[in-house]
Copies of this chain bind each other. A is one copy, B any other.
Amino acid sequence: MNSLSDEDKKNLIVRLRRVEGQVRGLQRMIDQEKYCVDILTQINACRGALKKVGLKILDRHVNGCVKNAISQEEGEEEIISELMDVLDKFTD
């Protein structure tokens, strides 16, 4: 169980399928010896897209699981400390 609606799920899977295609494209670019800067630009695009997907899920998580844990006073400390850990890594 998580905090994503059916529409969120559809939307995120579409975006991730696109990222998957970009990562496959990266392999082709390397195999075909494309110009390094073009490969790096594509890598930046993938990382940016993954970051956006992450921010969306983060938003849903805070608005869902975190909010529920707090309002029901159930496991709120764990869920917040877990959120902080994942944020720490997300900002690397």
Contacts and interface: CB of A to CB of B under 8 A. Distances in A.
Given A80-B63, A90-B44, A92-B44, A23 B27 contact: no
Given A36-B4, A70-B70, A84-B58, A89 B44 contact: yes
B23 A90 contact: no
B30 A23 contact: no
Contacts of A2: 33-36, 39
Nearest to A76: B67
Copies of this chain: 4
Contacts of A20: 20, 23-24, 27
Nearest to A29: B2
Interface of A: 1-4, 9, 12-13, 16-17, 19-20, 23-24, 26-27, 30-31, 33-37, 39-41, 43-44, 46-48, 50-51, 53-55, 57-65, 67, 70-71, 73, 76, 80, 82-84, 86-92
